[in-house]
A and B are shown apart, each in its own frame.
Chain A
């Protein structure tokens, strides 16, 4: 699971999840992890492409900010 911290936070903040049966929780954790991972990958791809389009002086700032 690549988004363990995010999923832990989700269990801490969304109270009703603790009442769900184990198989349901596992399926939900997996789906949330998949979603966040795919979003992260799409965003990283957008950043990689986007940074190239920035003016040179802003490019390094963007690279270090969005590392």
Chain B
């Protein structure tokens, strides 16, 4: 049943089903493909059918047990055995069941817990003394019953959680239990009760052991808000060698979704350290990372990480993203636009070759006036107007018209910025002349003429020559203000 999926949630559900079912490989694969929710529904139905066997009979029998004393019931529990006791206790009033349970040994309680319907004994577990829970947990940990412990951890009271965490010295065991918990709100509650140094030790146990690392990242991914960043920061504090090997695991096991979500909430001071790890200097790793960011809708969170990368890493990211095709390139542009991260896109665009720039200029977003305006204003602000001019000459007609229209706003401030840049840019004058050559409207030609007349004579001449080549000059000359 191994290697059917890299999705940890599906893996957990398959593991749970494996306790009950013996299936052939094709069936396991079909189930793995069905997704977490479907698997959970199937597992819960099987459990329901199993626990429903003789349920009415046990309910009837439980109603008679109230005639017995607590002492007699405890004695009886041993006599009937764990399986029958588990079913009976699930149908008893939790108030009495707890009184009986207090008289049983931790070993026997563990056996009962393994046989009982978790939904039925949740209330009993919550009311058991913390010391009893601790003893049961220690015994179950010894037997590596993490799946069972995870299910019952969902029902533990705050004092019991503290008692167990303090008693269990094995950090890896605690991580395993957390991994199998089903109630993520309770998981966050548990994590909140653990002090920082112990938490650091537990996360470290995950980062130091490659088998545990996916479980650690799963836990980090499933806790709430500020806890996610607290755990993520602990992870990020590890030395570079450890983090580098974790990147390898994340890549092999396709854990980029949870990793990116964790990285998006860690302290930005760790970004530089993580995104420049040697393991990331690999095309296939970067490809997976980019694809995960797109498919998991995490591009906005991923862009700040790319910003923290060294230039050579950024170059790999830029080429890799474009290699994934127009859809990915469009998603990146949209994410940058939504989150106001145009400065990064302009940085990345500098690395692109001719074909890549042509592709960018033909993206659907280059038809969007608000995208074009944001691109132009950011290019002007960051002094990358030469880059914009290079893109402008690749734009389609409507895009160019929008560029000119926007550049003429506010008295032509943006057009002025581009003219200033044209002086030092190869083919800069031609790029501007090409862009403005699409203009037919007399009022726009007049506005262009006004800006033209503000330029020094040598710039006017350079622009005139370029405008002549594009056929713009005769129209512009006519429109020049007297």
Interface residues in chain A, defined as those with a beta carbon under 8 Å from any beta carbon in chain B: 3, 6, 9-10, 13-17, 20-21, 23-24, 27-28, 31-32, 34-36, 39-40, 42-43, 46-47, 49-51, 53-55, 58, 61-62, 65-67
Contact = CB atoms under 8 A, between A and B. Distances in A.
A51 B23 CA distance: 34
Contacts of A55: 68
A7 to B, nearest CB: 9
B38 interface: yes
A36 B49 contact: yes
B61 A66 contact: yes
B46 A16 contact: no
A14 B54 contact: no
A14 B80 contact: no
Contacts of B76: 53-54
Shortest beta-carbon contacts, A-B, top 9: A50-B80, A53-B79, A50-B84, A46-B83, A65-B57, A66-B57, A16-B38, A65-B60, A31-B21
Interface residues of B, number: 35
Nearest to B78: A53
Given A32-B21, A46-B81, 5 more contacts: A16-B42, A24-B26, A36-B49, A53-B76, A53-B79
Nearest to A6: B49
A24 B28 CA distance: 9
Contacts, number: 107
Main secondary structure of the interface of A (DSSP, over half): helix
Main secondary structure of the interface of B (DSSP, over half): helix
A47 B341 CA distance: 68
B61 A14 contact: no
Given A32-B21, A34-B22, A49-B81, A39 B50 contact: yes
A51 B68 CA distance: 15
Interface string B34-68: 11001001100110011001101110110010001
A67 B46 CA distance: 22
A28 B27 contact: yes
14 contacts: A9-B49, A16-B35, A27-B24, A31-B21, A32-B46, A36-B53, A40-B53, A47-B84, A50-B79, A54-B79, A58-B68, A61-B61, A65-B57, A65-B58
Nearest to B20: A35
A6 to B, nearest CB: 4
A36 B27 CA distance: 18
A47 B54 contact: yes
Nearest to A21: B30
A23 B26 contact: yes
A55 B38 CA distance: 45
Contact of B46 (A10, A61, A66): A10
A20 B87 CA distance: 33
A55 B56 CA distance: 20
Contacts of B38: 14-16
Contacts of A31: 21-23, 27
Contact of A39 (B22, B31, B53, B61): B53
A67 B84 contact: no
A51 B53 CA distance: 16
A20 B30 contact: yes
B27 A24 contact: yes
B57 A10 contact: no
B42 A24 contact: no
Contacts of B20: 32, 35
A36 B61 CA distance: 22
B11 to A, nearest CB: 18
Contacts of A28: 21, 23, 27, 31
